[in-house]
């Protein structure tokens, strides 16, 4: 395996230094003959880890595949992604999660870690084969019915109890179904003005409160997907103060965009949970900064053209986000002074890897660590062009928008997957 040295890289925003790696690991000194990459002015971060990616394969290859999704991930600086279970067939057996894991191995652009379904067919009636998925070649440690809430409190308790045996985590899509029937956007002033059925914040907060209590009762790990409201932040802060093993993620789009965008009636802004108010955005940014929210996760949700380019009510929920995530976090958190680059590394690499129990990812760039690295140009400014994206789908909310920072290079186990901003 080749050896590389990044000349003048600023590791996590620190002073310029040489960062070297050989045989897939960071080394103290560059070996003779190492390839030299001029990294003057560039930030070096541990490879990013996404806890929440929809790769759509098997079943919806018209929207995304493991190949196209992981190409997008590499361009976004990710060296590992967690592939959600709402595929067709659902990833609720050892066979399906192993299929997704092997597709990731073949693609080779980043590590793919399948998320197993909590219930059979995402139906919310019967626990899926959690133990078999955990023991499979995919070594599943995160389980979620994402897209569907585990409504049944007894079933949720059993799932939390079950995963304790192998240090797994249940990742909950917090949505009280009865409170969100036919809901189209955040419930508030703008939904009333537009005449659209509102999605109340309480629909998210009620489930989070219940599940924090359950996790505390059984002593298990709980992870909350795509937190979006002030009230959710308050509940998480309360639970953590009492020692409950709960972690949470926020999406880049919930850190930057608000429900005012719904006034355009452009379905690209229709997402689950919905875009919230400016007050919610501020609370989410503050919670990510102080650690109440542990991680950024993209909720990359590609959709075929016909599923998004339609009237608002009929359009599918979701946005693509792998290729823009880092830039959005820089805009929302770094440029506003809430996080430094070390904080970005913590929220987008170290903590997500820890939550997903990925021992080979999310490690500080120190000698002996796996050489999963992303180089970022903090001075770059780019206009988002959907046609230039690697993802098979184009439903980005940032089309035509200028975003800060750009991924220059991504290395997976010391092997370049992206160089000079292009896939290798």
Catalytic residues: 299
CA–CA distance, 314 with 75 (Å, rounded to integer): 31
3-state secondary structure 292-358: CCCEECCCECCCCHHHHCCCHHHCCCCECCCCCHHHHHHHHHHCCCCCCHHHHHHHHHHHHHHHCCC
Cβ atoms of residues 423 and 71 within 8 Å? yes
In 3D space, the residue among 45, 123, 33, 39 whose CA is nearest the CA of residue 78 turns out to be 45
Q: Write the CA distances from 79 to 197, 310, 415, integer angstroms.
A: 39, 34, 11
8 A C-beta contact, residue 199 and residue 180: yes
Listed residue (280, 294, 163, 282) closest to 224, CA to CA: 294
Tell me if 79 sits within 8 A of 104, measured CB to CB.
no
CA dist., res. 331 & res. 184, Å (int): 27
Reduced to 3 states, what is the DSSP secondary structure of residue 23? coil
Give me 314's structure tokens.
């009929």
Instruction: Return the residue matching tokens 């967690």.
Output: 82
Are the beta carbons of 407 and 376 closer than 8 angstroms?
Answer: yes
């Amino acid at each position: 395996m080749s050896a590389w040295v990044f000349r003048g890289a600023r590791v996590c925003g620190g002073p310029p230094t040489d960062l070297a790696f050989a045989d897939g690991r960071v080394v103290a000194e560059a070996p003779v003959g190492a390839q030299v990459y001029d990294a003057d002015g560039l930030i070096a971060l541990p490879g990013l880890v996404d806890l929440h990616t929809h790769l759509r394969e098997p079943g919806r290859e018209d929207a995304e595949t493991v190949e196209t999704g992981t190409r997008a991930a590499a361009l976004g600086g990710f060296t590992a992604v967690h592939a959600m279970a709402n595929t067709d067939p659902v990833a609720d057996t050892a066979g399906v999660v192993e299929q997704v894991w092997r597709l990731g191995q073949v693609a080779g652009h980043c590590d793919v870690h399948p998320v197993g379904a909590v219930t059979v067919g995402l139906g919310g009636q019967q626990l899926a084969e959690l133990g078999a998925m955990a023991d499979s070649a995919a070594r599943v440690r995160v389980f979620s019915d994402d897209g569907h809430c585990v409504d049944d409190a007894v079933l949720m308790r059993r799932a939390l109890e079950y995963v304790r045996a192998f240090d797994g985590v249940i990742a909950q899509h917090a949505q009280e179904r009865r409170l969100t029937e036919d809901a189209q956007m955040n419930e508030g002033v703008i939904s009333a003005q537009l005449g659209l059925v509102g999605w109340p914040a309480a629909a998210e907060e009620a489930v989070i409160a219940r599940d924090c209590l359950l996790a505390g009762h059984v002593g298990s790990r709980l992870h909350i997907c795509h937190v979006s409201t002030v009230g959710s932040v308050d509940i998480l802060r309360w639970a953590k103060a009492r020692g409950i093993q709960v972690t949470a993620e926020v999406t880049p789009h919930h850190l930057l965009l608000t429900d005012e965008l719904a006034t355009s009636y452009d379905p690209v802004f229709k997402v689950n949970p919905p875009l919230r108010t400016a007050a919610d955005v501020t609370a989410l940014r503050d919670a990510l900064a102080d650690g109440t929210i542990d991680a950024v996760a993209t909720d990359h949700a590609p959709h075929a053209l016909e599923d998004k380019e339609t009237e608002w009510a009929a359009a599918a929920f979701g946005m693509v986000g792998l290729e823009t995530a880092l830039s959005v976090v820089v805009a929302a958190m770094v440029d506003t002074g809430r996080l430094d680059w070390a904080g970005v590394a913590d929220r987008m690499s170290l903590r997500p890897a820890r939550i997903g129990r990925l021992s080979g990812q999310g490690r500080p760039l120190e000698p002996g660590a796996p050489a999963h690295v992303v180089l970022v140009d903090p001075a770059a400014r780019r206009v988002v062009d959907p046609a230039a994206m690697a993802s098979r789908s184009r439903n980005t909310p940032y089309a035509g928008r200028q975003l800060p920072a750009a991924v220059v290079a991504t290395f997976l186990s010391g092997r370049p997957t992206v160089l000079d901003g292009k896939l290798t």
